[in-house]
Amino acid sequence: MLYRLRKYGFSAKILEAGDGIGGTWYWNRYPGARCDIESMQYSYSFSEELQQEWKWSEIFSSQSEILRYLNYVVDKFDLRKDIQLGTRVDTVYFDEAHSRWEVQTNREDRLFANFCIMATGCLSTARVPQIKGLDIFNGQHYHTGRWPHMNICFNGRRVAVIGTGSSGIQSIPVIAEQADHVFVFQRTPNFSIPSRNGLLKAEYEQWWKSNYAEYRRQISEAPFGFILKDKKNISAMTVTPEERQHELERSWQNGGLDFLLSFNDLFINKESNDAAAEFVRTKIRETVKNPEVAEVLIPQNYPIGTKRLCVDTNYFQAFNRDNVTLVDLRNGPIDEITPNGIRIKEKVYEVDDIVFATGFDAMTGALLQIDIHGRSGKTLQDKWAEGPRTYLGLMMADFPNLFIITGPGSPSVLTNMLPSIEQHVDWIVECLNYLRMHHYDTIEPQVEAENAWVLHVNEIANATLFPLANSWYVGANIDGKPRVFMPYAGARIGIQIRVALSSLIYKRLVSLPTRAIIKTTTTGQMVNLISTDVSKFEELYKFIHHLWATPVEVLIVFGIIWNEIGIPT
């Protein structure tokens, strides 16, 4: 964002809560932390020079390597001078009289800006369970999302790990190699696929770098923002059981998130999903030697992929170790933490350290921690009281000139985050440049546009299997949080079309009923920038047509076009 803003001649300052840059990769330093997207695809595309000179060491990069990469980028483009570290934003207030935002921080800064861009992240507000007795525990306790910056050694110690989501699945095998004993406290088992991680081979790196521009184009047009090793655009139910088993086995051996795209209907067809889920359950039973432990580790009550699929290195194998004990919290929750351990009913598990792998207040947590006031003093807390409402995950009615990067209502956490971030960054910067060139002071979506987008997000989610899971996608891990499916399940293709159409709006190219309106506050007059020229439809149609699309994506695209601009005859 800062790089793009500078390129367009804008002055900008980043306020960062951490004492170093890196976002999620600054905070999440737990043992085994690494990305679940391949390194060559989880990287910036805005600089060919950067792409060519940086060398990744592994197929799936570790937290420490990604953090080095981000610091390298900051220094290469001299961005550090405009980043203020160790600064938490307390209040953001829109001054209607001057059409500007006032930002106040924990350091008593008082800053004024014409535009405010919230890049607070989807998974940045750590959730630590309120368990009785934690304050009297004699040992150390950690949260995977707020890991200390010092080296933590568990040699010879008894460690409790609470939670078996992504961070638990990544950290447990590593902690088990050090600790005297590991007690894993699990409430909900999760599906996990082996990563098949390894050193990045020189020929594979060269394959990417020889034609990065073409591969970036494919990534930008891919439904989930990453290139598949061997995509199969067929339903799992259209092949024989033997062919289905063969394809699932091939995807399992390849490893990683590609497994969910073994067939094109795993997110929308329960029968197809059941086949994939049962395949993974069989793999867990084959891996874990103790049948009783295996059954506790097997997810049974939700479709595979409707919670974020985990990617691991020897996770299930860790439960074959003599120093790992699985505790099933479905038989009874944790009653309290004692000075020397964790008590469940009459049994006390004596431990020296506790690791909370309990996730985040996802999608909305970071934004709602800030006291944000929009037009007429309307607060974000009030606006989102029944769940988040945005237009494209980018903007909100009554909050002019406030942008969100990968906010609720965008694909974000269902995709490769970096291309999704870059897509939002490009749209925002181009929008700001357009406003400047045409001397407009503010921009915000109409309430009607926002309502239509929220309805569309819900319709698409309900056309999938996602609502069948109590996941953090719907806020199920936070007591009292509204149960609303927050990301956009239409994949990147759906958001690409809407973003493209929204760009056409303020560039006078097409008329939409759910248009955003640009306001000139100097006169208070609403300026409608819309014409009736739909000459760009054919170009847009061609763009859609050549994309690889699943059945649900075809439905999404043509539903959008039909509702917004009609199908020409």
Among the listed ranges 147-151, 228-232, 415-419, which one has the minimum average pLDDT value?
228-232
pLDDT at 346 over 60: yes
Among the four given CATH numbers 2.60.40.2140, 3.40.50.280, 3.50.50.60, 2.60.40.10, the one describing domain 2-17+86-125+362-564? 3.50.50.60
Confidence class of residue 502 from pLDDT cuts 50, 70 and 90? Answer: low
Q: What is the pLDDT of residue 497?
A: 54
CA–CA dist 408, 383 (Å, integer): 13
Q: What is the pLDDT of residue 498?
A: 54
Q: What is the pLDDT of residue 513?
A: 34
Instruction: Determine how β-strand 353-356 pairs with β-strand 83-84.
Output: unpaired
Model confidence, pTM: 0.89
Q: What is the pLDDT of residue 493?
A: 52
Confidence class of residue 220 from pLDDT cuts 50, 70 and 90? Answer: confident
Q: What is the pLDDT of residue 565?
A: 42
pLDDT at 516 over 70: no
Dihedral, 165, 169, 171, 175 alpha carbons, nearest 10: 120
User: Of 69 and 419, which is predicted with more confidence?
Assistant: 69
Among the listed ranges 276-290, 417-431, 468-482, which one has the minimum average pLDDT value?
417-431
Confidence class of residue 456 from pLDDT cuts 50, 70 and 90? Answer: confident
CA–CA dist 265, 304 (Å, integer): 12
Give tens-digit pLDDT for 250-283: 999 999 999 999 998 999 999 999 999 999 999 9
CA–CA dist 21, 4 (Å, integer): 17
Domain boundaries, the chain: 2-17+86-125+362-564, 134-356
85 token code pair:
């570290």
Q: What is the pLDDT of residue 495?
A: 52
User: Of 445 and 473, which is predicted with more confidence?
Assistant: 473
- What is the average pLDDT across 83-104? 97
Confidence class of residue 566 from pLDDT cuts 50, 70 and 90? Answer: very low
Q: What is the pLDDT of residue 300?
A: 97
pLDDT at 558 over 50: no
Mean pLDDT of the chain: 88
- What is the average pLDDT across 106-125? 97
Confidence class of residue 222 from pLDDT cuts 50, 70 and 90? Answer: confident
List the one residue out of 431, 435, 399, 422 whose CA is nearest residue 492.
Answer: 422
Confidence class of residue 445 from pLDDT cuts 50, 70 and 90? Answer: confident
pLDDT at 549 over 60: no
Q: What is the pLDDT of residue 519?
A: 38
Q: Where are the beta strands (DSSP E) in 75-191?
A: 83-84, 89-95, 100-105, 110-113, 116-118, 140-143, 158-162, 181-186
Among the listed ranges 134-143, 200-209, 352-361, 497-506, which one has the minimum average pLDDT value?
497-506
pLDDT at 423 over 50: yes
